[in-house]
Amino acid sequence: MQDVRYIFLAFLFALLVLGGCTRRDVLDDYPVSGVEISLDWDGVADQLPEGVRIIFYPKDGKSEKVDTYLSARGGKVKVPPGRYSVVVYNYDTETVQIRNEGAYETIEAFTGYCNGLGIAGTEKLVWGPDPLYVVNVEELQIKKSDETLFLIWKPKLVVKTYTFKVKAEGLQYVSAIVGSVEGMASCYCLGRGCGMKGEAPIYFEGVVRDEMVVGSFTTLGILGNTVTGANDGLVKLILAFVKTDQSLHKVEVNITDVITNSESGGEGEEPSKEIELPLEEDIKVEKPDNPSGGGDGGIGGEVGGWGDEEEVVLPVK
């Protein structure tokens, strides 16, 4: 009986040895090279994000992609030799999400719908993006080597912030201001490095300061048809004034030219990421039929006072 047990143990040991050799052969057949990535944030961000995600997409379309997370400064990655396209982005965003990440050409940033605001109509709007930093590398050759490949990449902020202020009369009759912008990019293709049209207008809040309506909104860039002046490239700023009697006053402002002009920086200069729009519109909100409206009067510096008695539906397409 003991002889049988010894024979079995010897057989098991032989299998382990052969398995180890087979595993070593596989590792030798599929070696990895060391890649050390350094991210240069100088002039890009005052406060670094929590960290970044980096994806190596094989150009042959057959090998597995290498997907890992690094600190904001970068780090070391083990990557099989080959030709790759690479995407890097910060993962600590609140409103920006990622989808279609199966390929370099399709990975896309977007923002979701404004659910949870409790304002009828805003669920048809999408959130403005928070800061998103991206690196995209179309072609990267990684050779089989025992030496580490050192790479220095500079992330790019792909979110733009626009601010505006516009004169308005009758603001004492307004209890809230809901803003949105149509015709700007609310999606971004990380691989191609361009903004894309999203599913809905981008939401923002408006406030009152010194008889002015003041607001700001963020986007993932300007669309190509706006730059070329195509007929479908209009950019509209929409302000929905909710009066104290719960009636609605809607104003649409064509800001296409203002947006286009803001993109024209100096020769060789990158357009600013923080842009103030010079709007010259004069807005007048008519006195409501029932000025008191059972509410608390107009707003004084902040959006509020929607009330619970009656639902106001914003005219969002």
Q: What tens digit of pLDDT does each residue of 227-258 get?
A: 545 456 789 999 999 888 888 889 999 999 88
pLDDT tens column, 55-76: 999 998 888 999 999 999 999 9
In a domain, 15, yes or no: no
Q: Which domain holds residue 65?
A: 31-93+131-157
Spatial CA neighbour of 218 closest among 193, 241, 253, 188:
188
State mean pLDDT over 294-306.
42
How far is 158 from 129, CA to CA, in rounded Å? 10
Instruction: Give the DSSP letter string of the chain.
Output: -HHHHHHHHHHHHHHHHHHHHHHHHHHHHS--EEEEEEE--TTT-SS--SEEEEEEEETTSSSPPEEEEEETTEEEEEE-SEEEEEEEEE---SSEEEE-TTSTTT-EEEE-B-TTS--TTGGGSBPPPPP-EEEEEEEEEE---SSPEEEEE--EE--EEEEEEEEEE-GGGEEEEEEEEESBEEEEETTTTEEEE-SSPEEEEEEEETTEEEEEEEES-B-HHHHTT-TT---EEEEEEEETTS-EEEEEEE-HHHHHHHT--STTPPPPSEEEE----EEEPPPPSSSSTTS--S-SSS-----SSSPPPP---
Least confident of 4-13, 19-28, 158-167, 174-183: 19-28
Domain count within the chain? 2
How far is 111 from 219, CA to CA, in rounded Å? 10
Same domain (yes/no): 232, 138: no
Same domain (yes/no): 123, 267: yes
Q: Which residue has the tokens 């600013």?
A: 272
State mean pLDDT over 197-211.
90
Q: Residue 171: phi, psi to the nearest 5? A: -70, -15
Token pair for 16: 């382990």
Least confident of 20-24, 153-157, 166-170, 224-228: 20-24
- pLDDT band, residue 147 (cuts 50/70/90): very high
Least confident of 19-23, 269-273, 280-284: 19-23
- What pLDDT score does 291 carry? 66
The CATH number of whichever domain residue 54 belongs to comes to 2.60.40.1120
- List all residues 6 or more positions away from 261 whose beta carbon is below 8 Å from its beta carbon: none
pLDDT tens column, 28-42: 455 789 999 999 999
Mean of the per-residue pLDDT values of the chain: 81
How far is 227 from 234, CA to CA, in rounded Å? 10
Same domain (yes/no): 145, 61: yes
Sign (positive/negative) of CA torsion 111, 112, 117, 122? positive
In a domain, 106, yes or no: no
Same domain (yes/no): 164, 153: no
Question: How far does CA 273 lie from the centroid of its chain?
Answer: 14
Count the Cβ atoms, other than its own, within 10 Å of residue 5: 9
Same domain (yes/no): 151, 197: no
* C-alpha triplet 293, 297, 303: angle, nearest 5°: 115
In a domain, 209, yes or no: yes
State mean pLDDT over 157-169.
92
